[in-house]
Structure 1
Amino acid sequence: MAGPDNQKFCLQEVLDSFKSCLSPNREIYMEHYVAGWKGLIKLLNSLGSVFGFISKDAASKTQILMNFLDSKNGSEYATVQSMVKFELDNELVDVNKKGIYPESGCRTLLRLHRALRWLELFLDRLRTSKEDDKTSVMCREAYNESLAHHHPFMIRKAAGLAFYSLPGRPGFLEVMNVGSPEQVVAMLGEAVPLISEVYTITEELYQKHNLLDLP
């Protein structure tokens, strides 16, 4: 049976998943992308219920993508690139914004993609922060630069309040379950560029196919 340790966030797991994410020709393996996100959801959950509004949504989105991977068309969803091609070729994406296919792979991944940018920006600020820097400020700045643009007012307000309850930098570095602050910073130095690369490849692919504002 899975013990509570399985639910503990571990930065190493996220690093390993994003390391495995890219194929030699820079395609993104869906299975490892989802695994990376499952790790990030553990991070959100470890910060308390205040981030439930994001972690619950991310958990349901990763499940939708897993269902696609396990479906009869699973091979079409092996990479983000193959998914985009398959869904566009078969007109399974709401490109004309008619409110259809709300759970298409492309739309589902877009929601995770936007949230990934917020976490990437936040973890990078954490990596370069000084001992007395406030994690609440780092997190809010990262949110305002990314996810806030896609959230309605009430969620933005809830997020703003949630950031105030974040632990201080020392407590946050402990949550990473890596070791000393120096070890955490070193591992973030490895993980953040990988997350950034996966984000950039996805962003360019979605831009190319006009998928960045799917309703």
Structure 2
Amino acid sequence: MADGDDGNGLRNVLVTFKSCLADNQEILMDPYLKGWKGLVRFLNTMGTIFSFISKDAVAKIQIMETFRSGDQKESYATLQSMVQYELSNSLVDLKQPGSYPTSGCRTILRLHRALHWLQLFLEALQTSEADAQTSVLCTDSYNASLANHHAWIIRKAATMAFYALPTRDAFLANMRVGTNEEAIAMLEEALPHIRKVYEVTESLYAQHNLLELP
């Protein structure tokens, strides 16, 4: 950790996602939620720009923590065990439109979609030129991920909010991992872990036809 990192920077947050993956490629729930808590802290340092994401993420994290402390907590130890448990016990409403009970599968899907957006945005930030506009990078990443699942009014508000993003240099500095060059190096090192978690989750959900849960 670079000098001056106060714990709200992204280094430990992103690397936390590395610990999500067990040797058998199962995704451990507790590190996953811990990583998301760190992402929320980082998003909150950017002011209200990302509040529409961070507030929703906090609510979803709380739901999953309730599952993890409940009578069936062991069934929610990994994403794979959660999917198996909820499908086996008909806890995921796949066939009855208009009736959507709270489930871990649906809750994680919302976090999964948001994680994809953040992954794409940070990857774009890592590979972009110094004079790149963060508002454009963020909007393009949003349009390639979360926007597909948001109503028009939310998409419009999000796109407008992105125009208030700071410059690329300011954004990198806000990661609090040292120089901008060190921030770029950190992203290059850590982002593959998030990408892998996303890919494993995407494959799991696709296997069980869960990617379009309402």
TM-score computed with the length of structure 1 as normaliser: 0.94
- The reply on whether 1:49 has 2:48 as its aligned counterpart is yes
8 Å contact 1:65–1:105 — kept in the other structure? yes
Q: CA deviation at 1:131?
A: 1.1
Say if 2:14 is the partner of 1:15: yes
Letter in 2 for 1:149: N
Per the alignment, in what secondary structure is the counterpart of residue 98 of structure 1?
coil
- Closer/same/farther in 2, CA of residues 164 and 213 from structure 1, 3 Å limit: same
Give the whole-Å Cα distance in 2 for the aligned partners of 1:100 and 1:110. Answer: 17
Q: How many residues align?
A: 211
Displacement of 1:97: 3.9
- Deviation, 1:102, is 3.2
Alignment-mate amino acid for residue 82 of structure 1: S
**In 2: Cα distance, 1:97 partner to 1:196 partner:** 32
How far 1:100 sits from its partner (Å)? 3.3
Assess, with a 3 A threshold, how the Cα gap between structure 1 residues 131 and 6 changes in structure 2: closer, same or farther. Answer: closer
Aligned to 1:74: 73
Deviations 1:40-74 (A, max 9, x none): 11122111113211110011001101111111100
Does residue 86 (structure 1) correspond to residue 85 (structure 2)? The answer is: yes
Q: Deviations over 1:165-186 (max 9, x none)?
A: 0010111011111011111111
For residues 89-104 of structure 1, the aligned pairs below 5 Å read: 89-104=88-103
Q: Displacement, 1:150? A: 0.2
Structure of higher RCO (CA pairs closer than 8 Å, 6+ residues apart): 2
Residues 1:26 and 2:25 are matched in the alignment: yes
The CA distance in 2 between the partners of 1:186 and 1:81, in whole Å, is 32
Asked if structure 1 preserves the Cα contact closer than 8 Å seen for 2:5 and 2:177, the reply is no
CA distance change for structure 1 residues 97 and 185 in 2, over 3 Å: closer, same or farther?
A: farther
- Does structure 1 residue 191 correspond to structure 2 residue 190? yes
Q: Percent identity, aligned pairs only?
A: 55
The answer for the alignment partner of 1:182 in structure 2 is 181
Q: State the Cα deviation string for residues 118-171 of structure 1 (Å, max 9, x = none).
A: 000000001111111111110000000000000000000000111000010111
Moved more, 146-155 or 181-190: 181-190
The Cα RMSD (Å) is: 1.6
Whether 1:122 aligns to 2:124 is: no
**Unmatched runs of 5 consecutive residues or more in structure 1:** none
Using the alignment, how far apart are the partners of 1:143 and 1:67 within structure 2? 29
Tell me the CA shift for residue 7 of structure 1: 8.9
Letter of the structure 2 residue corresponding to residue 71 of structure 1: G
Question: Contact 1:97–1:214 (CA<8 Å) still a contact in 2?
Answer: no
Q: CA deviation at 1:192?
A: 1.1
Q: 1:93 to 1:105 in 2, by over 3 A?
A: same
Separation of aligned partners in 2, 1:46 and 1:100: 37
Distance 1:148 1:177 in 2: 29
Q: Match of 1:149?
A: 148
Indicate the SS of the match to 1:49: coil
Aligned ranges for residues 190-209 of structure 1 at < 5 Å? 190-209=189-208
Contact 1:7 1:42 (8 Å CA) reproduced: no
- The residue identity in structure 2 corresponding to 1:42 is R
1:198 deviation in Å? 0.3
Provide TM-score, normalisation by structure 2.
Answer: 0.95
Q: Distance in 1 between matches of 2:191 and 2:101?
A: 30
